[in-house]
Amino acid sequence: MTTDIFISGGGVAGLIAACLFGSQGLNVTCVDPAPPVTERDADGADLRSTAFLQPAIPVLELTGVWHRLAPHAMPLHTMRIVDAGGDAALPRATRDFDATDISEMPFGWNLPNWLIRRELVARLAELPNVEFLPGTACTKIFTRSASAKVWLSDGTIRNAQLVIAADGRNSLIRDNIGIDVKTTRYGQKALAFAVTHPIPHNNVSTEIHRTGGPFTLVPLPDFDGKPSSAVVWMEKGPEAARLHALPEDAFNAEMSERSCHLFGPLTLASKRGLWPIIAQVAERFSAERVALIAEAAHVAPPIGAQGLNMSLSDLSELLELSKTLPLGSKDMLGAYDKKRRFAVRARVAGIDLLNRTSMSQAAWIKDLRSAGIGAIHDAAPIRKSLMKLGLGTR
């Protein structure tokens, strides 16, 4: 069977890729060994959230799914950075970065990942030119100059002009075509969950730095009539495992203290997920007839909502190149690699530095971090430039 594009991986990035290229009229096959979990409280649900930054919205509109997501999305008008690196768990430097400084729109819109999957799967069902095979894995790939051939776990074969590897940080496609990665391990894990709190978030995303990594609360729509936020809590691995195993009441108490009680007592409103934190970049983002995207190409610590937004930039670049160059050609994929690899390396290096600074227990680094937050915020040209850089705009 022949298709224009074969996508290995049915996570959020792979599903967006299938919707994006399918909406442009291309024939697409998308596979994943595990069916997507599309219910909040189901086993295996992805309890993380994604803040789609401004440049992501035109891409989501092209997929035909943004109108489905927008009613559930929480606008992010302000990014609040809090340094609490003193002797007590109290804020000692707080600065607000307001979207109105650089735009008439919010910085972005936050949504839970399980809901994003639900709406993407619903969109795929509307596209007769997209073949979505959940529960099916890619087992082998062979490429030649004219096309690629992929073998599936159901015993069938697909021939494609372009293979998109969206199969994660342990990508089978990447390994099969012999692309190495550089991996940085921090000894950290991230707890991901949702909370309710008595003090409204007022569309403010709050990132609290102490030690171990940031504690970030990102606004969600109200849950059970109470203000709600998605939380990513990064800690050294053993500490994260200890927190993950705590009884709910004890966990509520510890996370309320870690949040400096900025929103009052926090109450767990979902299951807790636990994720390893690494930085990883592939040595190349393309090979013959293959493009790497998302975590097959790059992984970064969850700071500044960069992960999936970098993935959407991957897809935007592939889409633009496909309009002027033959699909899956050497010229198309060479241009993709050249543009995306260098941009991603620079961004991951910046995130790496921020994470190491946030992890540090050294008093002088904490003091430097606290002073730096104020200096960056109070110098308006620097503040605005960094906000635009974080969004990926000019």
Task: For tokens 């991603």, name the residue.
Answer: 344
Instruction: Say if strands 49-53 and 215-223 run parallel, antiparallel, or are unpaired.
Output: unpaired
| Cα four-point dihedral sign 108, 49, 196, 217 | negative
226 touches 196 (CB < 8 A): yes
226 touches 197 (CB < 8 A): yes
Quick one: which H or E segment has residue 17?
Answer: helix 12-23
Average pLDDT over residues 27-55: 87
Residue 169 pLDDT > 70: yes
Average pLDDT over residues 138-145: 95
Q: Give the number of other Cβ atoms within 10 Å of residue 94's Cβ.
A: 17
Query: Cα-flanking dihedrals φ and ψ of residue 122, to 5°?
Result: -65, -40
- Position 354 scores a pLDDT of 79
- Provide the token pair at 221: 């729509």
The total number of residues shown for the chain amounts to 394
User: Which of 9-13, 92-96, 150-154 shows the lowest per-residue confidence on average (mean pLDDT)?
Assistant: 92-96
Q: What is the DSSP string of 133-173?
A: EETB-EEEEEE-SS-EEEEETTS-EEEEEEEEE-S-TT-HH
User: Which of 24-33, 42-51, 176-185, 295-304 shows the lowest per-residue confidence on average (mean pLDDT)?
Assistant: 42-51
CA distance 29 to 13: 14
Domains of the chain: 2-37+116-183+278-356 (3.50.50.60), 70-110+186-276+363-391 (3.30.9.10)
Query: Cα-flanking dihedrals φ and ψ of residue 155, to 5°?
Result: 90, 0
- Position 387 scores a pLDDT of 46
Average pLDDT over residues 215-227: 93
pLDDT single digits (tens) 349-368: 888 887 777 766 555 455 55
Amino acid in position 342: F
Pairwise pLDDT comparison (91 vs 333), residue with the higher score:
333
Residue 91 pLDDT > 60: yes
Average pLDDT over residues 83-111: 79
- What pTM was computed for the model? 0.88
- Position 36 scores a pLDDT of 86
pLDDT single digits (tens) 255-265: 999 999 999 99
Average pLDDT over residues 142-149: 95
User: Which of 45-59, 272-286, 356-370, 371-385 shows the lowest per-residue confidence on average (mean pLDDT)?
Assistant: 371-385
